[in-house]
Structure 1
Amino acid sequence: MNEPTDHRIRVLLVEDDAPIRMRMAAILGGADALELVGTAETLEEARAQCAAHVPAVLVTDLKLPDGSGLDLIRETRRLYPAMEIMVVSVLGDERSVLAAIEAGAAGYILKDSSPVDLVGAVLDLVAGRSPISTSIARTIVRRVQAQPGAAPQDTPPPALTEREIDILWGIAKGFTYGDIAERLNISRNTVLTHIKNIYRKLEVNSRGEAVFAAINHKIISIGP
């Protein structure tokens, strides 16, 4: 008789503050759809846990006692390209958020988010969305759109096809890959192929970074 298959999403949590780590671990571990495979409080522990468990989702803080979460994000993106990465931090400034996205994080939420938001953000991440706390998303979008030198006139934006732009707009609006495929009447695999081409053309590594690069180059615009 075949063994039952566990379809829960495997999550690794990296947080150096013990009380916060215990609270977040209880939230993630108590969700029916998630399996908390481990926790870490340092960069060194996080590296070892990633190698041992190779989770589907890495949830990490940026400020760690022996290094930066940004280094962990970059290494994870390089070593485990299929792993989804989300930052949970008290840092909501533009510099920290953009640095995390450029490093490869696809989601960024603040630690003051409710328990429902934490679990929902992980599920959104796996579904193809890029969860970002509203308070920082609006700030970053306004900042990028307002940059006078964001897309120099003598540097043409990357040439994306009309279909690639449609898909990029769908990602920016928070649609899942399945939603985009249904709206455009194409297969999910075709959507993934287009996304790979988008990443290559924009020279990015994550959905969040692709959206910000597209706004930066004025390829797409997100209205209020």
Structure 2
Amino acid sequence: MKADGPITVAVVDDNAFHREHLCAAVTASPELRLVGAADDAASALVLMQQQCVDVLLVDLGLPDRSGLEVIRHVRAHCPATDVMVVTVFTDERHVLQSLEAGATGYLLKDATAQEIRQAVLEIVAGGSPISPLMARHLLKRFRPAPVPEAPLAKAVLSTREIEVLQVVAKGLSVKEAADILALSPMTVGTHVKNIYRKLAVNSRAEAVYEAGRLGLLAL
């Protein structure tokens, strides 16, 4: 309970069963006072024009417009009101959209009366209550992605380029390498140029060293 009286709460949900469940959770708590309930966005905006409550419990799937619009309107016209979404949507997109619109909390409709009461008290105390399932979604989103390992040279060089590299590393000339591999000298020369480019080197010695460092050749 606030120093100046009970916490005022309004409920917005088009489903009669869930709306009554939320209202019952509020009225059963001596620290809370139910100011009103609405079954669509238009009625909710009228309700909020009459009084900016401390906490607004709002569903996202309203019949006349999205609950996100209600959240944005309340944030603009009743900045002191904390908005807590209570909905069936369990996907990450709805959570993020709600938070971006200005919601301070996000509960699922399977929350018990005690959980609803506790969430309202927490939000007024400066917290941001979020259902455990939704919190896990957010943690996964902001968890750092694993840094991909640098691709191995074997994946960069073709099988033929590796064969050419192995022969050239023995100190043979392009013509000698061509004879061993049954290729034309021009083809071997092209492979050598591609090897230099892919390994980012400019000479045979550098190519041999880099290939050895990457595990392509036993030095």
Query: Aligned runs of 1:92-171 on 2, under 5 Å?
Result: 92-146=90-144
Which shifted more, 41-50 or 139-148?
A: 139-148
3-state SS, counterpart of residue 19 of structure 1: helix
Q: Which amino acid aligns with 2:16?
A: A
- Once the two structures are superposed, residues 114-172 of structure 1 have per-residue CA deviations (whole angstroms, 9 ceiling, x without a partner) of 11100100000000000000111011121122469xxxxxxxxxxxxxxxxxxxxxxxx
Q: Name the residue aligned to 1:82.
A: 80
The whole-number CA distance in structure 2 between the counterparts of 1:147 and 1:40 is: 43
Q: Which amino acid aligns with 2:67?
A: G
Q: Which moved more, 1:19-28 or 1:122-131?
A: 19-28
Q: Quick check: 137-146 or 23-32, which moved more?
A: 137-146
CA displacement at 1:11 relative to structure 2: 0.3
Q: Match for 1:37 among 35, 38, 44? A: 35
Aligned with 1:46 (options 39, 44, 47): 44
Q: Does 1:73 align with 2:100?
A: no
Percentage of matched positions with identical amino acids = 42
Assess if the C-alpha contact under 8 Å between 2:55 and 2:84 holds in 1: yes
TM-score by length of 2: 0.63
Residue in structure 2 matched with residue 22 of structure 1 by the alignment = 20
Say which SS state the counterpart of residue 63 (structure 1) adopts.
Answer: coil
Report the equivalent of 1:8.
6
**Structure with max Cα Rg:** 2
Deviation at 1:6, TM superposition (A): 5.8
Distance (whole Å) between structure 2 residues aligned to residue 8 and residue 137 of structure 1:
29
2:192 corresponds in structure 1 to none
Deviation digits for residues 47-77 of structure 1 (CA, Å, limit 9, x no counterpart): 0000112111111000000000000001111
Deviating beyond 2 angstroms after TM superposition, the runs of 4 or more aligned structure 1 residues are 144-148
Decide whether the 8 Å contact of 2:41 with 2:67 is kept in 1.
yes
The number of residues matched between the two structures is 144
Query: Deviations along 1:70-124, whole A, 9 cap, x unmatched?
Result: 0000111111111111000000100000000000001001011111100100000
Indicate how the Cα distance of structure 1 residues 128 and 6 shifts in structure 2: closer, same or farther if over 3 A, else same. closer
Give the CA RMSD over aligned residues. 1.4
TM-score (norm 1): 0.62
**Alpha-carbon distance in 1 for matches of 2:43, 2:17:** 18
Partner letter of residue 50 of structure 1? M
What aligned pairs does 1:185-196 form with structure 2 within 5 A after superposition? Answer: none
